[in-house]
A and B are shown apart, each in its own frame.
Chain A
């Protein structure tokens, strides 16, 4: 008999410790987040989208205007303008005046707030002047300070200037529009508020369309990939046919059919754009279903539905998420495109596309109406594209070691 203690040497604790894995365990989600946040563009995109959500969700509470409220005396006012000093400021607060494009005069406070239209006192066509009664409405003796000012349009080179009664040019200064931060549109509606409501429309359309496309695409692609054979063949031929047709044309046709509106944009978008998702899912499933773990699941008698939902789809989640993220900018683009050609949400609702479309005709005189929505579209597109790119790199299994 041999003594065990002689034959076998005891392993010390120190060697066990050497075998231990020192690194912190990271779950898959943490892993993805770790790689995602290393990309400045992706983080920037994420921040932009969060800001956009705040802007759309809570912004309208702070502007003090509603998207449909019209103020026809304050039409087409830019966010920055030249204000002319009104005479007779000695009585109290200095006030200014802004000349609108339709040759009206608006009283402006020193801080840049629009107060009211100044009543017209008469035309002086001979001297190419329009007279206005600039008397300070708030002062008690209105009759006394009957100061007249005039818009002088006699000199083409100089443009329109505001003069006092004697024809002397009044001092001017640039100021920011405090009443309407981004100016007003051709019906005197606040552009900032409309931009926020536009963001609501665009984002809702985008998210809802992306979710519906995700569901339809995943179900269709999942079934097609899992069944394989003839069923797969037929289902994929249908997808091929749908995708050879220019999709925008079909969105347009569906919009014509359903009459333009918020809901029909979603229906149109989600009835057409699921094909790319279906392709991606089908390709993934096709590759995954040959693997051993699926065979194992089958051997123990798991139902097909369970195999698809519990084993195959979770394994294909990376590409699915990336495709879904990329669907969002597509949806925003198509929505703004549709609105731009006049098939979008109907007035007085605003979407970025309809705002661009409204502003197009007066682009030369009021470019601010075009810049704001166009910039909003661009920023949103960038943000979602960057997030999509970041996610693709973070989720790509090829990069995982």
Chain B
């Protein structure tokens, strides 16, 4: 187990290093410096700026400086806003995005799992058809369309929820639904197919022939194994929900990370784009790592070490 964890930690760092390297190269191959603007700066000012941000250093040295900064969890200064750092952007934006993401994770799990189970148990009946219809809608309709549709119906037409902002608690309702639409449908579908597969296995017949009640068979025997594939995709799902909210934040005008990211793109604020990308990637990689570890712990069929 320890060996496996260490190996996974090592690959995690390799991945993160690749991410940093790739973003760094991409952002430094943009034609023109970060200070080339329509309004030409005086030469001395430009030189001073370049010196201040050490842009005249050779590229590999800049990269090592950046890595050193990362080791101290310092993502560097913003290129567009004098005296502000990328860390500040993240500190301002991330709490809201994280709250939104975690609420969506909760909402996804609380609705998708029961719906998927219901759908599998009532296989072929109207409940199954209804749930799968909704799930297909959720998978095919892009989140920004869901978000705008929800906003139009529930905020403008019915006036049940605020149009934007999260001053009141019910401001979270629509963003959370719109954000979880895709993952909810995906998890529900996976839960259904995985439970259906397990229900066809021999040990379920054994459990039934012992005379166990149907609910006992499902809860005690089938569900435990059926949950394993669901757990596998939880890592990317959670990370996606926490980080994937640019569009939702933009539509509902919530001042989260996504808004900072989109503004940085519009401003061509390269350090900010780079920093936020790396931050997002780190969350994602860490989530996948945690889930992988958890996965090994819950699935008795996976044997590590000697066999593999």
Contacts and interface: CB of A to CB of B under 8 A. Distances in A.
B114 interface: no
A341 B280 contact: no
A382 to B, nearest CB: 5
A252 B156 contact: no
A225 interface: no
Contacts of A363: 148, 151-152, 156
A252 B288 CA distance: 22
A249 interface: yes
Interface in A210-259: 240-241, 244-246, 248-250, 252-254, 256-257
A25 B124 CA distance: 34
B145 A356 contact: yes
A370 B140 contact: no
A340 B247 contact: yes
Interface string A365-382: 001001000100110011
Given A244-B15, A378-B140, A257 B30 contact: yes
Interface in B128-152: 136, 139-142, 144-145, 148-149, 151-152
A253 B273 contact: yes
Contact of A256 (B19, B30, B239, B244): B30
Contacts of B227: none
A284 to B, nearest CB: 21
B181 to A, nearest CB: 12
B148 A370 contact: yes
A318 to B, nearest CB: 20
Nearest to B28: A257
Interface string A115-134: 00000000000000000000
Given A245-B19, A252-B265, A377 B142 contact: yes
B201 interface: no
B262 interface: yes
Given A245-B284, A257-B26, A377 B268 contact: no
Interface in A365-401: 367, 370, 374, 377-378, 381-382, 385
A253 B247 CA distance: 16
B18 interface: yes
Given A244-B15, A245-B281, A367 B268 contact: no
Contacts of A256: 27, 30, 265, 268, 273
Nearest to B17: A241
A333 B247 CA distance: 13
A246 to B, nearest CB: 6
B26 A244 contact: no
A158 interface: no
B277 A253 contact: yes
B247 A356 contact: no
A364 interface: yes
A378 B240 CA distance: 22
A342 B144 contact: no
Nearest to A342: B266
B14 A241 contact: yes
Interface string B229-244: 0000000000110011
A377 B277 CA distance: 27
A217 B88 CA distance: 40
A336 interface: yes
Contacts of A187: none
Contacts of A295: none
Contacts of B246: 341
B23 A253 contact: yes
Given A244-B285, A257-B26, A367 B152 contact: yes
A370 B250 contact: no
A374 B178 CA distance: 15
A341 B277 contact: no
| CB-CB nearest 7 A-B residue pairs | A381-B140, A374-B145, A241-B18, A253-B26, A241-B15, A249-B277, A244-B15
Interface of B: 11, 14-15, 18-19, 22-23, 26-27, 29-30, 136, 139-142, 144-145, 148-149, 151-152, 156, 239-240, 243-244, 246-247, 250-251, 262, 265-266, 268, 273, 277, 280-281, 284-285, 288
16 contacts: A240-B15, A244-B288, A249-B280, A250-B22, A253-B23, A256-B27, A256-B273, A257-B26, A336-B144, A340-B144, A340-B247, A363-B156, A370-B152, A377-B142, A378-B145, A381-B142
